[in-house]
Amino acid sequence: MKNTVVTFRQMKEKGEKISMLTAYDYSTAKLEDAAGVNSILVGDSLGNVVLGYENTIAVTVDDMIHHGRAVAKGAKNALVVVDMPFLSYQTSVYDAVVNAGRIMKETNCGAVKLEGGAVVCPQIKAIVDASIPVCAHLGLTPQSINAFGGHKVQGKTIEAAQKLLDDAKAVEAAGAFAVVLECVPARLAQKVSEAISIPTIGIGAGNGCDGQVLVYADMLSMFSDFCPKFVRKFANVGEMMSQAFKDYDAAVKDGSFPAEEHTYKIDDEVIEKLY
């Protein structure tokens, strides 16, 4: 059954955990969808994982649409959420609605995600008023990496923890259907989850959240540039790929690939008539 923002709300009400994973292409989305993952996030981590950038700052709306469209084609049941990249919504409410609208129309996704709390609530409200579901994102928001001065756990002081709780209440009031909490102490994330009625989706925020999200290339050990403490490696696909690439290289070079079963036949008389 197709997961929607209503499914998210019902799952929180019933105390059922929500699973979300990132994907950036059709084949990965198909596998995640078939596995029963509730939601697929086309994260702007696309910049790091797929495009090889140092951070997410350079990712464009066109990049997100290109990959979001492929993921949406592969996801039959999962709710597809596409990230709004840096400066596609911070500049104005008008820009936010136009860019969210483009993402929805051109990808066929079910929702958009943007980073920030009270400061982007006018944008969240306007996008929701245009009938586009919005997932918020608080805590370590990678588009602010230059302002944070690195990947740091957020909300550890009284002021910062209170701000995070206030921001969570603000995005809920603005109409967000869910909120991602990234790199937040587990007890704070639990308190936020209990204080708001929309689901919290944690990444590095402990198991008191209503759901969890991971970057799929991290949990499969396919991305080796850096690995945050909160990642569990569910499989070593990176190692398997690396071994398979070495085996392929060796098989091509020693002539054992392609073998008979990988080749197409032709009648002898056709070859014989050639001059």
Active-site residues, by number, are 182
Cβ atoms 95, 54 nearer than 8 A? no
Among 70, 215, 220, 222, which residue sits at the site for ligand KIV (rule: CB under 6 A)? 215
Cβ atoms 44, 82 nearer than 8 A? no
Nearer to ligand KIV, 146 or 157 (CB): 146
- Write the burial class of residue 98 (CB in 10 Å: 0-12 exposed, 13-18 middle, 19+ buried): middle
Binding segment for ligand KIV (CB under 6 A), chosen from 24-32, 36-44, 101-109, 155-163, is: 36-44
CB of 105 to ligand KIV, least distance (A): 21
CB of 94 to ligand KIV, least distance (A): 24
CB of 213 to ligand KIV, least distance (A): 5
Q: Does 203 bind ligand KIV (CB under 6 A)?
A: yes
Among 32, 33, 83, 210, which residue sits at the site for ligand KIV (rule: CB under 6 A)? 83
Q: Does 22 bind ligand KIV (CB under 6 A)?
A: yes
Helix (H) or strand (E) holding 128: helix 121-129
Residues 128-167: x/- map of binding to ligand KIV (CB under 6 A)?
---------x------------------------------
Whether omega for the bond prior to residue 85 falls within 30 degrees of 0, making it cis, is: no
Q: Does 43 bind ligand KIV (CB under 6 A)?
A: yes
Q: Does 178 bind ligand KIV (CB under 6 A)?
A: no
Nearer to ligand KIV, 170 or 214 (CB): 214
Q: Does 21 bind ligand KIV (CB under 6 A)?
A: no
CA–chain centroid gap for 223, Å, is: 14
Residues 6+ apart with CB under 8 A from 17: 11, 210, 211, 212
Task: Convert 163-181 to b/e letters by CB count within 10 Å (16 or more is b).
Answer: bbbebbebbbebbbbbbbb
Among 44, 63, 167, 210, which residue sits at the site for ligand KIV (rule: CB under 6 A)? 44
CB of 99 to ligand KIV, least distance (A): 16
Q: What are the Cα distances from residue 143, in Å, to 10, 44, 266?
A: 30, 9, 57
**Which string of DSSP letters, residue by residue, matches 244-272?**
HHHHHHHHHHHT-SS-GGGS----HHHHH
Chain contacts with ligand KIV (rule: CB under 6 A): 22, 41, 43-45, 83, 137, 180, 182, 203, 213, 215
